[in-house]
Amino acid sequence: MGRIVLEKVSKTFGDVEVIPPLDLAIEDGEFAVFVGPSGCGKSTLLRLIAGLEDTSSGEIIIDGETVTEVSPSKRGLAMVFQSYALYPHMTVRKNIAFPLRMEKMDQSEIDAKVDIAATSLNLTDYLDRKPGQLSGGQRQRVAIGRAIVREPSAFLFDEPLSNLDAALRVGMRMEILELHNKLKTTMIYVTHDQVEAMTMADKIVVLQAGVIEQVGTPLELYRAPRNLFVAGFIGSPKMNLIAGEEAAKHGATTIGIRPEHIDIVTSGGVWEGTVSVSEHLGSDTFLHVNVDGIEEPLTVRSIGDIAVRHGDKVSLSPRLNELHKFREDGLRVE
Ligand code: ADP
Ligand code: MG
């Protein structure tokens, strides 16, 4: 079990309210991702749930029990950090076994649990090594193994992959997802990377300045961002946001259109523009197009082998059924 509920939880450091009162429910077995720019309060929120910070107000409830005043070790949660925090002088086996030794569990039981964790993390061949003899990805797996043996009701991950290089990050992302499929335990995963959020989450919680901007599945957020912040934050490259007269035509203060929802047409486009930069990625090409009357260049996604370069004129046609409309206060027009 691992249903986590926050009721009117807030956090103030000194006289700075980092997290105004918020409500949130993470369901048992869910993979929830807290995402938002650096400094928005993701780690603070996770630490409040873990009990590493005291709440300034509100209640935290795990599986129906109020744990707001309960010490971290008694909450049944396990946290994995960006810095692996392994003991360098201990072997992998001893590092993973560490929390169980603290509980004074029988050695035979410890060995069995360590073996199971090591198997599910492909660490069996490394149990006698020390952390210094492992790659970054393997070290992070050891840190996860140390969390697994505690059999927590939920795992809390704080940017666990930030220290790894890009290729390794993609691999570890898949491993953590496979682990979630296997264990079916609640996981809360903090990241500033919206791609990680989109690819991993059952439920994304978008935060800005300690405020929850939207909660939903990746596709809900992609298809119907609640406000301009979420519209600009979710999706890569970013959604084009256009204000002024062009938006007024659609009865909005700002309209949004994603790069993949603008077609390049031979004639009869809505916007005529000049290509400033074309980024050829092989699979796709991203064109940055200057259009008269639109302040920012529009980003347009096209096929990989389009023969368009700097200075070329193009005619653009937005798919009107994919248009997002926002009011003056930034909220989506339904
Ligand atoms: P994130 O993890 O999203 O980058 P944090 O939760 O670490 O953000 O921080 C949110 C805000 O709270 C930041 O402005 C940070 O400076 C502030 N903060 C975090 N911890 C403390 C603390 N112990 N004392 C004072 N301010 C803090
Ligand atoms: Mg953080």
Which atom belonging to ligand 1 lies closest to the Cα atom of 13? Answer: 25
Which residues does ligand 1 sit against, CB inside 6 Å?
13, 18, 36, 38-44
Spatial separation of the C-alpha atoms in residues 264 and 164, rounded to whole Å: 38
pLDDT at residue 268, rounded to an integer: 83
Q: How many residues does the chain have?
A: 334
Beta bridge partners of 65: 62
309 CA distance to ligand 1 middle (Å): 44
Q: Whose CA is nearest to atom 2 of ligand 1?
A: 43
Domains of the chain: 4-226 (3.40.50.300), 237-326 (2.40.50.140)
310 CA distance to ligand 1 middle (Å): 43
DSSP 8-state code for residue 332: B
Which atom belonging to ligand 1 lies closest to the Cα atom of 45? Answer: 6
25 CA distance to ligand 1 middle (Å): 22
Complete DSSP assignment for 159-185: STTTTS-HHHHHHHHHHHHHHHHHH--
Q: What is the mean pLDDT of each run of 10 residues along the chain (334 residues)?
A: 95 97 98 97 98 98 97 94 87 96 94 94 94 91 94 95 86 92 96 96 98 98 98 96 94 97 92 96 96 94 93 96 97 92
Which atom belonging to ligand 1 lies closest to the Cα atom of 207? Answer: 3
Among 9, 10, 12, 18, residue to substitute to test ligand 1 (most atoms within 8 Å of Cβ): 18
188 CA distance to ligand 1 middle (Å): 18
47 CA distance to ligand 2 middle (Å): 10
pLDDT at residue 166, rounded to an integer: 85
pLDDT at residue 304, rounded to an integer: 93
Which atom belonging to ligand 1 lies closest to the Cα atom of 38? Answer: 4
Sort 13 into a burial class: Cβ within 10 Å, 0-12 / 13-18 / 19+. Answer: exposed
Q: Whose CA is nearest to atom 24 of ligand 1?
A: 13
Spatial separation of the C-alpha atoms in residues 73 and 167, rounded to whole Å: 34
pLDDT at residue 164, rounded to an integer: 84
Which atom belonging to ligand 1 lies closest to the Cα atom of 53? Answer: 23
